[in-house]
Chains A and B, each alone.
Chain A
């Protein structure tokens, strides 16, 4: 075998190994989409913090207005936040084996609206960093931007759009949840690609690589979460 071929073979094996590794049912791989502490270069870490803070501030302002009128709602929001955390720690079945980390942001943004969800979602992320060591503090801005801002807003937009155009609630719920998940994954991949552009091909090539690796777990998860959310919605209506 030529040296080059050998190298190529090793690489393919490596990629296959990692892919297999990520699909194996292990609770840790589930949180693969939380960018770890210290992973992003300093410029990007700061950039995503700056991008995230306005949404957070708007969300807090909105919550402040709501809770000033009815202080009990504060308790409700707190309990709902705990519920969201538990949801994100729940193992959900996926086609590739069961795995945790449904984001629950789709359901949440339909129920509470995307802005309140951006506050609850980012607090959930902070708890995940502090109580589970998933994600990190310097990368909280980036993670919150993708999971607590982009995901909920995309899910909510899709929900509104589908409700207006088709009126089919189940369909809208399915896509709201699945798109919230997918969009989170795409934004995270993009964040990584922008921070680490490939030598040849730049951001686009890098995006393909990061997106490709995480697609293995995230796309089936998005579909599962969509299905799950529809079921939950049905139960909630019948309850």
Chain B
């Protein structure tokens, strides 16, 4: 999945658009989702879907898989939310169910906004955003190196696992545990090798004490899309205010 998300984030129709706009849009959407009621949350979810699948053209099957797997957490927590322990027996709790439904609508809206960002914004651009919002440069440098080596180490781990399986490993609990421990150790050795190699390679390229990031770049959002955001968000906020004015009560 990690490769899929990473690849999609670089190869979607919105990948070159200003990351600040995308992240700002999603942040306001999440704030709105927290402040609003299910009808508005539903509208938000739909809107985010339009951007992610419609404008950015993320394939529906990947989107659905991601959405579903993220919702597993909700599914797992549902019994705890909706079932009451009363005098030693279990029973549905109406207020619990009510909470669960509320959480579901809010979580879906927030999730769709988050997926919009992570599926349409390449990691390199997210680093730029992190820098803009004042994350210490040390942390960004660490993230940069991590991101660079993450895929390499994942690939190494995958190959090592395959080699072990090709030689009859990973059968039975005890052996699996042993094989995994060996794998982690080898991976650690490989990691340290990477570190030594990188230290040399970067010194040869003039590394002194900082990894200097490239300056911020990003195409700005097209006028109609910008208008869509600038009109849409206040409109949704207005709907929410109207709902509250009317004393909206969720039927459940």
Say if the two chains contact directly (CB < 8 Å): yes
Chain A contact residues, CB within 8 Å of chain B: 7-8, 11-12, 14-15, 18, 21-22, 28-29, 31-32, 34-39, 42, 60, 63-64, 67-68, 71-72, 74-83, 85-87, 89-93, 95, 98, 119-120, 123-124, 126-127, 129-134, 136-138, 192, 196, 198-201, 205-206, 208-210, 212-214, 224, 227-228, 231-232, 234-236, 239
Extra inter-chain contacts (11) besides given A7-B91, A74-B211, A82-B153, CB under 8 Å: A18-B78, A18-B79, A35-B73, A37-B70, A68-B209, A75-B195, A80-B191, A90-B180, A138-B34, A231-B182, A239-B185
B49-57, B144-152, B218-226, B230-238 - interface stretch: B144-152
With a CB–CB cut-off of 8 A, which chain A residues contact B144? 78
Whether the pair B189, A133 counts as a contact (CB closer than 8 A) is no
CA–CA, A90 and B178, complex, Å? 14
A–B complex contacts, Cβ < 8 Å, 7 sampled: A7-B91, A8-B91, A39-B73, A64-B136, A119-B139, A206-B80, A236-B188
What residue in chain B is nearest A19 (Cβ atoms)? Answer: B79
With a CB–CB cut-off of 8 A, which chain B residues contact A192? 77, 80
What residue in chain A is nearest B177 (Cβ atoms)? Answer: A93
Whether the pair A78, B145 counts as a contact (CB closer than 8 A) is yes
Q: Which residues of chain B (181-232) have a CB below 8 Å from chain A?
A: 181-185, 187-189, 191-192, 194-195, 198-199, 202, 207-211
B123 interface hit (Cβ, 8 Å) = yes
B118 interface hit (Cβ, 8 Å) = yes
Chain B min CB distance to A221 (Å): 12
With a CB–CB cut-off of 8 A, which chain A residues contact B207? 71
Point out the residue from B30, B141, B173 that lies within 8 Å of A74, measured CB to CB: B141
With a CB–CB cut-off of 8 A, which chain A residues contact B99? 196
- Inter-chain contact total with CB atoms closer than 8 Å: 248
Question: Lowest 3 A-B CB distances belong to which pairs?
Answer: A78-B145, A38-B110, A231-B181
Knowing A15-B83, A78-B145, A82-B153, say if A235 contacts B70 (CB, 8 Å): no
Interface residues on B, range: 35 or more
CA–CA, A64 and B81, complex, Å? 43
Knowing A37-B110, A87-B184, A90-B180, say if A77 contacts B142 (CB, 8 Å): yes
With a CB–CB cut-off of 8 A, which chain B residues contact A196? 80-81, 99
Whether the pair A89, B154 counts as a contact (CB closer than 8 A) is yes
Whether the pair B111, A136 counts as a contact (CB closer than 8 A) is yes
Whether the pair A38, B107 counts as a contact (CB closer than 8 A) is yes
With a CB–CB cut-off of 8 A, which chain A residues contact B78? 18
CA–CA, A83 and B153, complex, Å? 7
CA–CA, A85 and B6, complex, Å? 15
Point out the residue from B74, B142, B153, B157 that lies within 8 Å of A36, measured CB to CB: B74
With a CB–CB cut-off of 8 A, which chain A residues contact B138? 60, 63-64, 67, 74
Chain B min CB distance to A89 (Å): 7
CA–CA, A199 and B30, complex, Å? 28
With a CB–CB cut-off of 8 A, which chain A residues contact B30? 38, 137-138
CA–CA, A82 and B147, complex, Å? 7
Knowing A123-B142, A127-B147, say if A90 contacts B114 (CB, 8 Å): no
